[in-house]
Amino acid sequence: MGRTGRDCLAKHLPDLKERLEPDIVIVNGENAAHGLGITGKICKDFYALGVDVITTGNHIWDQREILSYIDRDPKLLRPLNFPENTPGKGFILHPLQDGRKILVINAMARLFMDPMEDPFKVVMDLVKEHPLGRACDATFIDFHSEATSEIMAFGHYLDGKVSAVVGTHTHIPTADAHIMEHGTAFQADAGMTGDFDSVIGVRKDISIHRFTRKIPGERMVPASGEPTLCGVLIETNDPTGLAKNIAPVRIGGILREEIPDF
């Protein structure tokens, strides 16, 4: 969320990579440019930090330069269920150095969001084209959802067919990290990387004014206090591609720290 979040990622990601040794690092960057979208320069800065794939959501087009940039950057995803012929792609089959392949899918919910193609059907069709354990060794889905009911239904719908379903968009990390009945890791929202002494990353005074006065005020500005890095760590089973472990990651700021120990 804004420069504060970007600085937080730059501060903590190198150490996290050394401590946790992840095979792939996926970052949702749709609020990276002052809370509104992402730029090509920010993408390149993230890759320089060790980010492998960038997902987004409903703010993907807030910086107009992305319309011409996204087709040149296969690692920057937009939601898969945008209309046909929308610039960019909603998935990537990311190769690891040892030959394994990870399918990363970005999709967006419909409840309380802009009208989109049905994410349940669109994602299931893609998953069937890339079956876990045959076409890919792991499948990760960033489901950009306003409603926890929709993300939970989406997780159960794909349980056993993908490695992990993790939500983004609400900016609040949920306490429901677990492995579903048939082996899919799930957390309804990974949380934001930004200042939590705020209203979902926006300065408190601006948000309070909007709620109490119901008239336009100052433009939404990201809060700039001490930030927290939020995310999840997922471990998969190599023979099946299903999940073995999932745990939240939280470092810095006002939230309680959580570092996985597996």
Residues acting as catalytic residues: 59
Q: Report how far residue 63's alpha carbon sits from residue 113's, in angstroms, rounded to the nearest whole number.
A: 19
Strands 91-95, 101-108: pairing kind: antiparallel
The position carrying tokens 């957390």 is 187
Residue 92's beta-bridge partner residues? 104
Torsion of CA 259, 7, 23, 247, to 10 degrees: 30
